Structure 1
Amino acid sequence: MTRQDGGKRPPKKSEGRRARLPRPVYERELLRLQEQLVMMQEWVRSTGARLVVVFEGRDAAGKGGVIKRVTEYLNPRVARIVALPAPTERQRTQWYFQRYAEQLPAAGEIVLFDRSWYNRAGVERVMGFCTDEEYARFLRQCPVFERLLVEDGILLRKYWFSVSDEEQERRFRSRLEDPMRRWKLSPMDLESRVRWEAYSRAKDEMFAHTDVPGSPWYVVEADDKRRARINMIAHLLSGVPYHEVEPPELSLPPRPPSTGYRRPPRETQTRVPDHAATLEGAGTEGSGG
Structure 2
Amino acid sequence: MPRKQYETELYRLQTELVKLQEWVRAEGERLVVVFEGRDAAGKGGTIKRVTEHLNPRIARIVALPVPTERERSQWYFQRYVEQLPAAGEIVLFDRSWYNRAGVERVMGFCTQEEYQRFLHQCPIFERMLVEEGLLLRKYWFSVSDEVQEQRFRKRLSDPTRRWKISRMDLESITRWEAYSRAKDEMFVHTDIAEAPWYVVESDDKRAARINMIAHLLSTVPYGHVRQPDLHLPPRPPSTGYERPPRRLQTYVPDHAATLPDATRPAP
Q: TM-score, normalised by structure 1?
A: 0.90
Q: Distance in 2 between matches of 1:279 and 1:22?
A: 32
One-letter amino acid of the structure 1 residue matched with residue 130 of structure 2:
V
One-letter amino acid of the structure 1 residue matched with residue 203 of structure 2:
D
Q: Does 1:69 align with 2:49?
A: yes
**What percent of counterpart residues are identical?**
79
Q: Does 1:206 align with 2:186?
A: yes
Q: Which residue of 1 aligns with 2:105?
A: 125
Which 10-residue stretch deviates more, 254-263 or 122-131?
Answer: 254-263
Q: Which residue of 1 aligns with 2:117?
A: 137
1:200-279 residue pairs with structure 2 within 5 A? 200-279=180-259
Q: CA deviation at 1:260?
A: 2.2
* Matched position secondary structure for 2:61: strand
1:4-83 residue pairs with structure 2 within 5 A? 21-83=1-63
Q: CA deviation at 1:177?
A: 1.4
C-alpha offsets along residues 83-137 of structure 1, whole Å, 9 cap, x if unaligned? Answer: 0000000000000000000000000000000000000000000000000000000
Q: Distance in 2 between matches of 1:278 and 1:178?
A: 25
Q: How many residues align?
A: 263
Q: Does 1:87 align with 2:67?
A: yes
Q: Distance in 1 between matches of 2:240 and 2:248?
A: 20
Q: Distance in 1 between matches of 2:56 and 2:230?
A: 21
Judge conservation of contact 1:276–1:282 (CA < 8 Å) in 2: no
Where does structure 1 differ by over 6 angstroms across 4 or more consecutive aligned residues? none
* Matched position secondary structure for 1:255: coil
Q: Which residue of 2 aligns with 1:116?
A: 96
Q: Which residue of 1 aligns with 2:140?
A: 160
Q: Distance in 1 between matches of 2:131 and 2:238?
A: 58
Judge conservation of contact 1:54–1:114 (CA < 8 Å) in 2: yes
Unaligned runs of 5+ in 2: none
* Matched position secondary structure for 1:59: coil
* Matched position secondary structure for 2:36: strand
One-letter amino acid of the structure 1 residue matched with residue 233 of structure 2:
P
Unaligned runs of 5+ in 1: 1-20, 284-289
Aligned CA-pair RMSD:
1.0
C-alpha offsets along residues 166-205 of structure 1, whole Å, 9 cap, x if unaligned? Answer: 1111111111111211111001000000100000000000
Q: Which residue of 1 aligns with 2:163?
A: 183
Q: Which residue of 2 aligns with 1:100?
A: 80
Q: TM-score, normalised by structure 2?
A: 0.97
Q: Distance in 2 between matches of 1:145 and 1:260?
A: 64
One-letter amino acid of the structure 1 residue matched with residue 215 of structure 2:
H
Q: CA deviation at 1:282?
A: 7.1
Q: CA deviation at 1:78?
A: 0.5
Q: Distance in 2 between matches of 1:190 and 1:44?
A: 39
Q: Distance in 2 between matches of 1:156 and 1:130?
A: 26
